[in-house]
Amino acid sequence: MKESDFKHIPVMAKETIEFLAVKPDGIYIDTTLGGGGHAEKILVKLSDKGKLIGIDQDGEAVIAAKKKLAKYQKKTIFVHDNFKNLELILSELNVDKVNGILLDLGVSSYQLDNPERGFSFKEDADAILDMRMDQKQKLSAYEVINNYSEEELRQIFFELGEEKFSRQIAREIMKRRREKAIKTVNDLIGVIKSATPPGYRFSHRHHFASKIFRAIRIEVNHELEALREVLPQAVHRLNRGGRLVVISFHSLEDRIVKHFFREKKNEGVVDILTKKLLIPTMEEIALNPRAESAKLRAIEKII
């Protein structure tokens, strides 16, 4: 991997920095460091007394971010870990409270565009099914597709992918893998094609396999569980007046965030800063089409 390979345009960067209200001497956490785009925008606002803690479970992201942010190394701490371990990470760093936390839940452009990672559903992709954000973990997309039961597959396709042909696709996977293992992105796309009618495949603005790939990725990386785990830790670790900004990319994530924020508001713990859900401008989407589904919510801790 070259540093130049790890490119990721930070989504809603202007809004993110505004809601974080970065204090020059503050401590901030970017829990999904990625290509370092958001992190850099936070770092330029920090004094030499300020600190940014950048966390990512993807080791390649951490390596790339260290290079990109080299000139800020004195005020940056890089952590290769899953953000669900936020409390433990901060305890090990002897950090008690922080001024702001960013959760950008999107998949980086590098992960999507690198065929070796198996995230992309481009039809010419002959990569092995992988989709692991943490390359050290055992569970991969290959394991899910070839080892899960038909009912387990149907459930994750329906619940995590919101795919209406979930039963038909799960059944077709079982049929195909009795003949041989479903190894590559191409193999899986072929299965989805066989299990869905042409009218459905050509009626979407987005690729017909996108929902299935999203469901598998969420399952492989336990994304919703990690989100549910990190949110209360993040609020606990905020100073009074500290802010949490979350950028989600599909309704399942956004629903979890919305309900959690509402619950904490009702408890008198936070104020919701985004009275209305924020979405990217048309100008941003034109420059970065992958920002299209982004949704931003922000809170401020008041006790």
Angstrom distance (rounded) from CA 192 to CA 208: 8
Angstrom distance (rounded) from CA 39 to CA 97: 19
Instruction: Give tens-digit pLDDT for 186-223.
Output: 999 999 999 999 888 876 667 888 899 999 999 999 99
What are the structural domain ranges in the chain?
Answer: 3-110+225-301, 115-221
Contact criterion met (CB below 8 Å) for 216 and 145 = yes
Residue 35 scores a pLDDT above 80:
yes
**138 alpha carbon, distance to own chain's centre:** 19
Of 61-65, 131-135, 234-238, highest mean pLDDT: 234-238
Quick one: tokens of 137? 């973990």
Percent of the chain with pLDDT over 90: 81
Burial of 138: CB neighbours in 10 Å, binned 0-12, 13-18, 19+:
exposed
pLDDT recorded at residue 89: 98
Residue 176 scores a pLDDT above 70:
yes
Angstrom distance (rounded) from CA 115 to CA 27: 36
Quick one: tokens of 161? 């992918």
Contact criterion met (CB below 8 Å) for 106 and 247 = yes
Side chain identity at residue 128, one-letter code: I
The pLDDT of 73-85, averaged and rounded, is 97
Find tokens 């396709």 and name the residue. Answer: 157
Instruction: Give tens-digit pLDDT for 244-274.
Output: 999 999 999 999 999 999 999 999 999 999 9
Angstrom distance (rounded) from CA 153 to CA 8: 31
Contact criterion met (CB below 8 Å) for 219 and 160 = yes
pLDDT band at 5 (very low <50, low <70, confident <90, very high): low
Residue 173 scores a pLDDT above 70:
yes
Taking 3-state DSSP, the helix, strand and coil percentages for the chain, each rounded to the nearest 5, stand at: 50, 15, 35
The reported pTM is: 0.91
Residue 99 scores a pLDDT above 80:
yes
Superfamily, domain 3-110+225-301: Vaccinia Virus protein VP39 (3.40.50.150)
Nearest to residue 116, comparing CAs of 33, 208, 185, 209? Answer: 185
pLDDT recorded at residue 4: 45
Q: Select from 3.40.47.10, 3.40.50.10320, 3.40.50.2300, 1.10.150.170 the CATH code of 115-221.
A: 1.10.150.170
pLDDT recorded at residue 108: 60
